Amino acid sequence: MTKKLDRPMIKVEGLTKRFTLHQHGGARIGVFGGLDLEVKKGECVVLAGASGMGKSTLIRCVYGNYLTSGGSVKILHDGAEVDLAGATPQTILDIRRRTMGYVSQFLRVIPRVSTLQLVMEPLLENGVSAEEAEARARAMLASLKLPEAHWSLPPATFSGGEQQRVNIARSFVREYPILLLDEPTASLDAANRAIVVDLIKAALAKGSAMIGIFHDESVREAAATRFFEIESYKTAA
């Protein structure tokens, strides 16, 4: 009998994704088909394959940003498997708030909200006291070497690398059971890439389950517990 602790945090079965180009006569572009993937606690599955194979598309399907064309994407949430393919928007938002974080190379924020407040938000939304949330946010921003003078400022005018560090801080401060990492170190220098690798390893040690895409080979090798070759699932329309 499979132990409860061994249940996958992410279970993708028979996943198919096609895009329909409505402005081009309904032409369909196939991305992948029949894709199966399981990710358990303490695993960082790094997606391998050339550009255009569908790595980012897969992550967006797992996060619920893209509708699936077939198959299922099941997330372990509150001890039960929830298939995002049939979940309500409210359920998907609850999963994102409490179970599954997403780190991309881009930061989308509300203007005039300070960096410190942005990093505190995921904690406050999950019932952490304001005092503890601020302490944890400050510690995370300091670990990512973001100058303290920036913390009271909105990050809209920051450099790409600084914005990316804010994005990373927002996701890792919460200690999500599941993390999806889509090129989180793309705009970072070597020193900050090493810091992010340490954050990934610490989260894995606490039992997080991750799917990642990394452009930098050294980060890819350091973060991966195993690789998943997506090219074998490539499909035509």
Annotated domain spans of the chain = 41-65+89-233
Q: How far does CA 14 lie from the centroid of its chain?
A: 21
- Given a cut of 50, the residues of the chain with pLDDT beneath it are 1-3, 237
How confident is the model at residue 109, as a pLDDT? 65
How confident is the model at residue 3, as a pLDDT? 46
Angle at Cα 32 formed by Cα 28 and Cα 35, nearest 5°? Answer: 145
How far is the CA of 160 from the CAs of 30, 106, 163, 184, in angstroms? 32, 8, 5, 11
Q: Where are the alpha helices (DSSP H) in 49-159?
A: 55-63, 89-98, 115-124, 130-143
How confident is the model at residue 52, as a pLDDT? 78
Give the Cα separation of 46 and 4 in Å (integer): 24
How confident is the model at residue 102, as a pLDDT? 93
Contact call for residues 97 and 115 (beta carbons, < 8 A):
no
Does the domain made of 41-65+89-233 have the CATH classification 3.40.50.300? yes
How confident is the model at residue 1, as a pLDDT? 36
Question: Beta strand 209-213 with 226-229: parallel, antiparallel or unpaired?
Answer: unpaired
What are the residues facing 39 on neighbouring strands?
10
Provide the 10 A C-beta neighbour count for residue 92: 18
How confident is the model at residue 235, as a pLDDT? 74
